[in-house]
Amino acid sequence: DSGVTQTPKHLITATGQRVTLRCSPRSGDLSVYWYQQSLDQGLQFLIHYYNGEERAKGNILERFSAQQFPDLHSELNLSSLELGDSALYFCASSVGRVNSGNTIYFGEGSWLTVV
């Protein structure tokens, strides 16, 4: 158990809908990362938050947004869902001091199926 908690574990929704994925980082971790993993792609970096502020953006679509709250949990919002958004979405966390690399620990992921 990495200490990173993600909910829901599985989600099935229709095209055009909007979903919110939730992540609680490990205790004491200030950084939260979101990754997408689909069958025809590897682990794609989406976005990184540190202590409530966005720090880096990857290949995140405009239909997707994220935020990190004062209690450090994070939410990834996916809207106007398309079939191609079906994937496993991972949250990861780290202590996240800005000036050094830190080990990131992954949650078990949220399986999103868009039908």
Sketch the per residue contact string, 40 through 69, with other proteins: x for CB under 8 A, - otherwise.
Answer: xxxxxx--x------xx-xx----------
Subset of 14-43 contacting other proteins (CB under 8 A):
33, 35, 39-43
Question: What b/e string do you get for 46-85 counting C-beta neighbours within 10 Å, with b at 16 or more?
Answer: bbbbbeeeeeeeeebeeebebebeeebbbbbebeebeeeb
Residue 115 contacts other proteins per CB under 8 A:
no
Least separation in angstroms between CB 11 and other proteins = 15
Cβ nearer to other proteins, comparing 33 with 81? 33
Q: Which of 72, 109, 112, 114 binds other proteins (CB under 8 A)?
A: 109
- Do the bridges between strand 43-50 and strand 53-57 make them parallel or antiparallel, or are there none, so unpaired? antiparallel
Q: 104 vs 112, which CB is nearer to other proteins?
A: 104
- Give dist(CA 60, CA 53) in Å, integer: 16
User: Under a CB-based contact definition with an 8 Å cutoff, are residues 92 and 4 in contact?
Assistant: yes
How many Å apart are CA 46 and CA 41, to the nearest integer? 13
- Residues making contact with other proteins (CB under 8 A): 2, 4, 33, 35, 39-45, 48, 55-56, 58-59, 90, 92, 96, 98, 100-109
